[in-house]
């Protein structure tokens, strides 16, 4: 009855089952995995947000495959503020970066084509790829006084079926940014082989570094698809507004955009009220980002304070993003550890394998957790290793 591509194992894993039981029993939970910014106690400009959604122009339907020009212009301004030059016509609006990924996969990949993805990274890739009949091939990131791309392994992972490489800048959950030299290396490698670059930059604004991180938007060295959206930039995942910026050698770029326009025109998935609101919503991002970064900094300071009181666990360097990666003794699998933290201590954390870490001894915690929850959850977690 069903297509092979949907042949997923849909049984809940042990940790999700335990979480459901824990919640159903009404037990208190210290959730250190939160990623939904609308549930973290940040103060939003409710009036500004709701006001932005009530533009009377929304009463008229004006289908625009690439998205309304006013919204795209606001996105160009966003990039101009980051010193990245993006043209209004080099962009397609989408409802999410997930949708942007599916457009790009559809554009580039025949069934069975390969796309390289970093490991560790974000767990949604598997499903996005399955649905589009794309085969993911992992390339390892290495941690040695900070995270780096293993270019040798990346090159070895390229086959005749490879169409693109995904870079997540900064990566989730490692929180490291691509450096100028890495971008140049990637451009040289990719342009020489006629492959495309897909840059997921949803966390680009959330940097802990003094130097402003570089964006792939407007990258000219290779055919590049840079994506981001309001979900993280403004902490508004419910608005379903994102974008795809295309750049690179002129002819390739023009053809990619023309083909993407047909894909977008087939769905016309963006709704009018949200598109009309994009300029105002983007203008509200600074207050959200300031609150979020203040939370991240305080939680990180608390993490370092607690880690300094013991010698068994440590954390990896973090340059940005919303997560911290903890190194803990690998005396059992990360899943068993996460289960025990949940069942015995009421602390919910993500095991490293959830993000494709290759070995045990890794837990991932969200730095946007409420501060009291973060502090108490962490102290129970660390006590576990005394």
Ligand X SMILES: Cc1ncc(COP(=O)(O)O)c(C=O)c1O
Q: Which residues bind ligand X (CB under 6 A)?
A: 35, 96-98, 122, 168, 172, 200, 202, 229, 231, 237, 242
Strands (E), the chain: 30-31, 91-94, 114-119, 135-143, 147-149, 162-168, 196-200, 224-229, 242-247, 314-315, 323-327, 347-348, 350-351, 362-366
Nearer to ligand X, 282 or 313 (CB): 282
Query: What minimum distance in Å lies between the beta carbon of 370 and ligand X?
Result: 19
Nearer to ligand X, 128 or 246 (CB): 128
Three-state secondary structure call for residue 225:
strand
The CA–CA distances, whole Å, from 355 to 49, 120, 153, 173, 337 equal 33, 5, 19, 7, 15
Q: How many residues does the chain have?
A: 386
Nearer to ligand X, 168 or 368 (CB): 168
Query: What minimum distance in Å lies between the beta carbon of 2 and ligand X?
Result: 25
Nearer to ligand X, 98 or 289 (CB): 98
Query: What minimum distance in Å lies between the beta carbon of 336 and ligand X?
Result: 25
Instruction: Tell me 179's DSSP state.
Output: P
Instruction: Tell me 71's DSSP state.
Output: H
CB of 196 within 8 A of CB of 246?
Answer: no
CB of 243 within 8 A of CB of 99?
Answer: no
Query: What minimum distance in Å lies between the beta carbon of 98 and ligand X?
Result: 4
Nearer to ligand X, 96 or 187 (CB): 96
Query: What minimum distance in Å lies between the beta carbon of 80 and ligand X?
Result: 21
Query: What minimum distance in Å lies between the beta carbon of 350 and ligand X?
Result: 12
Query: What minimum distance in Å lies between the beta carbon of 216 and ligand X?
Result: 13
Nearer to ligand X, 236 or 313 (CB): 236
Place of tokens 């576990």: 384
Nearer to ligand X, 67 or 229 (CB): 229
Cα separation, 101 vs 81, whole angstroms:
25
At 103, which helix (H) or strand (E)? Answer: helix 97-108
């Amino acid at each position: 009855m069903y297509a092979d591509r949907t042949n997923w194992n849909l049984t809940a894993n042990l940790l999700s089952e335990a979480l459901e039981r824990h919640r159903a029993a009404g037990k208190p939970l210290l959730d250190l995995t939160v990623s939904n910014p609308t549930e973290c106690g940040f103060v939003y400009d409710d009036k500004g947000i709701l006001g932005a959604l009530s533009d009377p122009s929304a009463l008229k339907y004006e289908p625009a495959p690439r998205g309304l020009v006013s919204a795209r212009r606001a996105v160009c301004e966003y990039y101009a503020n980051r010193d990245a030059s993006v043209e209004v016509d080099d962009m397609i609006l989408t409802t999410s970066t997930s949708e942007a990924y599916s457009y790009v996969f559809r554009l580039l990949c025949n069934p069975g084509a390969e796309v390289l993805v970093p490991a560790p990274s974000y767990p949604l890739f598997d499903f996005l790829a399955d649905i589009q009949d794309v085969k993911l091939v992992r390339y390892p990131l290495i941690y040695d006084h900070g995270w780096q791309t293993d270019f040798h392994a990346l090159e070895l992972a390229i086959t005749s079926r490879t169409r693109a490489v995904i870079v997540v800048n900064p990566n989730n959950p490692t929180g490291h940014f691509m450096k100028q030299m890495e971008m140049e290396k990637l451009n040289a490698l990719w342009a020489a082989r006629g492959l495309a670059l897909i840059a997921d930059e949803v966390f680009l604004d959330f940097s802990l570094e003094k130097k402003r991180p570089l964006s792939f938007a407007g990258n000219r060295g290779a055919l590049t698809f840079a994506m981001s959206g309001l979900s993280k930039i403004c902490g508004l995942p419910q608005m379903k507004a994102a974008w795809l910026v295309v750049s690179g050698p002129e002819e390739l770029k023009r053809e990619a955009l023309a083909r993407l326009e047909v894909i977008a025109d087939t769905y016309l998935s963006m709704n009018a009220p949200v598109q009309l609101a994009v300029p105002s919503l983007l203008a509200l991002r600074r207050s959200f980002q300031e609150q979020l970064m203040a939370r991240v900094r305080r939680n990180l300071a608390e993490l370092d304070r607690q880690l300094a009181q013991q010698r068994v666990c440590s954390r990896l360097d973090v340059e940005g993003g919303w997560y911290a990666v903890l190194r803990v003794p690998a005396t059992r699998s990360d899943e068993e550890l996460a289960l025990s933290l949940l069942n015995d201590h009421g602390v919910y954390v993500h095991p490293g394998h959830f993000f494709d870490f290759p070995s045990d001894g890794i837990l991932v915690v969200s730095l946007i957790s409420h501060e009291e929850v973060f502090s108490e959850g962490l102290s129970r977690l660390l006590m576990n290793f005394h």
